[in-house]
Amino acid sequence: AAGKTLLPVAGWGSVNHIWVPALVLGLGTMAYLSRIMRASMLEVLSADFNTAAKAKGVHGWSLFWRHQLRNAVLPVVTELGPTIAGVTTGGFVVELIFAIPGLGRYFVQAVQQLDYTVIMGTTVFYGAFLVLVVVVVDISYGIIDPRIRLHGGGGR
């Protein structure tokens, strides 16, 4: 059919419209988190606890899941909060460039039209979203590594 493309670069309406904006938002983020994970995994592979687990007879998937991955993923989880905030705020520009009707585009138009009510509302919404993401990241620490637990104030 005339006028149809495999990967449209503007508009919204079908699954094909999602691919290019998703690649723009996700490719850099994925590369960044992959580099952190690789560096962390290389550090864990040479750690003493890894050698001790091998000496105790832990091998294969059990060694990977219980000892290596759980310890290597913590720096990646640490970066997830700010990274999700970056992707979310990067969505403003991506929505405007790719003509996607969304909250980011609505926010940019509000800034251009000096609509302070919308600017404040979306800023509070994204701020609350960032706080929620950071809380989820902190809770996931305790799930990933049981040695990390939340406890009431005071440093003992």
- 10 Å Cβ neighbour count for 123? 11
Residue 6 belongs to some domain of the structure? no
- 10 Å Cβ neighbour count for 40? 19
Q: What is the pLDDT of residue 42?
A: 92
Q: Which domain holds residue 29?
A: 16-144
pTM listed for this prediction = 0.70
Q: For 40-87, what is each residue's pLDDT tens digit?
A: 999 988 888 888 888 888 888 888 887 788 888 888 988 888 888 778
Residue 153 belongs to some domain of the structure? no
CA-CA distances (angstroms) from residue 14 to 3, 96, 101, 105?
14, 18, 13, 19
Residue 152 belongs to some domain of the structure? no
Domain count, the chain: 1
Residue 156 belongs to some domain of the structure? no
Residue 132 belongs to some domain of the structure? yes
Residue 4 belongs to some domain of the structure? no
Q: Is the pLDDT of residue 11 over 80?
A: no
Q: What is the pLDDT of residue 109?
A: 87
Cβ atoms of 131 and 82 within 8 Å: the answer is no
Residue 128 belongs to some domain of the structure? yes
pLDDT bin (cut points 50, 70, 90) of residue 153 is low
| Residue 12: both structure tokens together | 């919204």
HSE toward the beta carbon, residue 8, CA cutoff 13 A: 15
Residue 23 belongs to some domain of the structure? yes
User: 69, 83, 81, 67: which is closest to 29 by C-alpha?
Assistant: 83
